């Protein structure tokens, strides 16, 4: 069998301005993700580590080193804290890049729940590095990407909520993402540069667009009879027309009771 991939790429061109990604059926019967590159493609598994390997018999290097950290601390409760050396950080970095390619592919395929899963995984990676890397430079190599991954995770979680018209829950998710990025800026003493943080600005703009869209929808919706009566009641009270206000209250009560029985 030829190892030339020319036939695989036929009719599937590379676009430098757009991410080109697709799902294919693998020879093992499982779906694979293929990401088109200028000189070829990346093929990734849908689950576990994108390249399908199991380093140290674990799902990923992150799980491998998490297990080592837990075993070390259980066996050495009085010793110095567990530490990741440069080699370990290098393996974890290369692995994190694999997950980056996959969660971007999931996003462009509208597989938002899977994108949320992989972004959450990389956020866990950053936290693990910050807790256990020996060198501050290694910590910054990973943690500088926390605002970006937080933004992508927030979008991946909120988008399905918006599609289901669960606007309040989506807005709550976006608010949590905004807070997380603001906490990052404060942690690094950069709160005064929040207006330069494109990830923060992106989530704030998205939140504002959702709020504006909801307000337009509300204003376009015909008012229910009971809402019209409440407006009239407010006007009657403001004008001190108390008899009319009393009549309107009785009518509102009657309509509210009727609606509750429907």
193-224: per-residue pLDDT in tens?
999 999 999 999 999 999 998 877 665 556 66
Among 124, 141, 135, CA closest to 83:
135
Q: Three-state SS for 20?
A: coil
Neighbours of 243 (CB within 10 A): 8
Residue 248 lies in a domain: yes
176 burial level (CB within 10 Å; 0-12, 13-18, 19+): middle
Phi–psi pair at 222, nearest 5 degrees: -60, 140
Same domain for 241 and 206: no
Calculate the CA dihedral of residues 248, 253, 255, 258 and round it to 10 degrees.
Answer: -160
Taking CA 46 as the corner, what is the angle to CA 143 and CA 123, rounded to the nearest 5 degrees? 15
**172 and 211 within one domain:** yes
Is 148 a member of any domain? no
Range of the structural domain that residue 237 is part of: 225-261
Highest mean pLDDT out of 10-14, 172-176, 191-195 = 172-176
Q: Give the containing element (helix H, strand E) for 220.
A: helix 198-220
Residue 106 domain-assigned?
no
Residue 254 inside a domain? The answer is yes
- The answer, yes or no, to whether residue 236 has pLDDT greater than 90, is no
Model pLDDT, residue 250? 80
Tokens representing 163 are: 């599609």
The answer to whether residues 255 and 229 touch, using CB atoms and an 8 Å cutoff, is yes
Spacing of C-alpha 252 from chain mean position:
44
Query: Can you give the pLDDT at residue 232?
Result: 81
Provide the pLDDT for residue 262.
46
In a domain, 245, yes or no: yes
Whether the predicted pLDDT of 47 surpasses 90: yes
How many whole angstroms from its chain centre is CA 172? 13
Domain count, the chain: 2
Q: Is residue 240 part of a domain?
A: yes
Residues 237 and 255 placed together within one structural domain of the fold? yes
Is 118 contained in some domain?
A: no
Residue 3 lies in a domain: no
- 216/229 same-domain check: no
Average pLDDT over residues 84-113: 96
């Amino acid at each position: 069998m030829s190892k030339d991939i020319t036939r695989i790429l036929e009719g599937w061109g590379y676009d430098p301005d757009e991410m080109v990604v697709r799902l294919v059926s693998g020879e093992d019967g499982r779906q694979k993700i293929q990401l088109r590159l200028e000189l070829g493609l990346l093929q990734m598994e849908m689950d576990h580590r994108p390249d399908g390997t199991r380093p140290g018999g674990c799902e990923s290097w992150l799980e491998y080193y998490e297990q080592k950290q837990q075993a070390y601390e259980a066996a050495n409760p009085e010793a110095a804290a567990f530490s990741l050396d440069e080699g370990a950080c290098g393996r974890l970095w290369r692995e994190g890049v694999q997950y980056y390619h996959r969660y971007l592919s999931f996003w462009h395929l509208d597989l938002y729940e899977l994108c949320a899963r992989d972004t959450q995984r990389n956020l866990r990676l950053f936290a693990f590095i910050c807790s256990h890397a020996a060198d501050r430079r290694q910590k910054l190599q990973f943690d500088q990407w926390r605002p970006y991954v937080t933004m992508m995770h927030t979008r991946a979680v909120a988008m399905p909520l918006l599609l289901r018209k669960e606007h309040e829950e989506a807005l709550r998710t976006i608010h949590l993402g905004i807070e997380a990025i603001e906490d990052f800026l404060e942690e690094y003493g950069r709160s005064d540069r929040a207006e330069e943080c494109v990830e923060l600005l992106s989530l704030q703009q998205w939140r504002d667009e959702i709020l504006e869209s909801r307000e337009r929808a509300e204003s376009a919706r015909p008012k229910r009879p009971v809402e019209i009566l409440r407006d009239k009641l407010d006007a009657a009270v403001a004008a001190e027309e108390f008899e009319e206000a009393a009549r309107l209250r009785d009518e509102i009560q009657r309509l509210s009771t009727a609606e509750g029985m429907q």
